[in-house]
A = this chain, B = another copy of it.
Amino acid sequence: MNLKPLYMNVIVKPLADETITKFGIVIPDTVSKEKPEKGEVVAVGEGRLLDNGQIAPLKVKVGDKVMFKKYSPEAIKLDDQEYLVIKEQDIMLIFE
């Protein structure tokens, strides 16, 4: 079964802190009350609908490991794995 996000929606599989720490990155608790989250992109929407009716494809691709910030991400569970549904503008950067 497939999940196909609409427009700017992106589905990410949350990554545990350890996974990221392995890369040498730590997100400190003390700086910001709303701690950013990390995840791996598993599905992306077709793109952003522009004022002129065209679709601007998203920059993130399936497999990208990303850091994002979203106040109340939508969560779904598929085969016992939890996923989050966010929008591309919530993503700040890609770990490469």
Chain A residues with a Cβ under 8 A of chain B: 1-7, 9, 11, 23-28, 31-34, 36, 43, 46, 48-54, 56, 59-60, 67, 69, 72-79, 82, 85, 88-89, 91-96
5 further A-B contacts with Cβ under 8 Å, apart from A25-B78, A31-B72, are A3-B94, A9-B93, A46-B59, A51-B51, A85-B92
Q: Tell whether, in the assembled complex, residue A6 and residue B50 are in contact, meaning their CB atoms are under 8 Å apart.
A: no
Tally of this chain's copies: 7
Complex: A54 Cα to B60 Cα, angstroms: 17
Q: Tell whether, in the assembled complex, residue B6 and residue A96 are in contact, meaning their CB atoms are under 8 Å apart.
A: no
Q: How far is the CB of A70 from chain B (nearest CB, A)?
A: 10
A95 cross-chain contacts in B, Cβ below 8 A: 1-4
Q: Tell whether, in the assembled complex, residue A88 and residue B6 are in contact, meaning their CB atoms are under 8 Å apart.
A: yes
Complex: A85 Cα to B95 Cα, angstroms: 13
Q: Tell whether, in the assembled complex, residue A27 and residue B69 are in contact, meaning their CB atoms are under 8 Å apart.
A: no
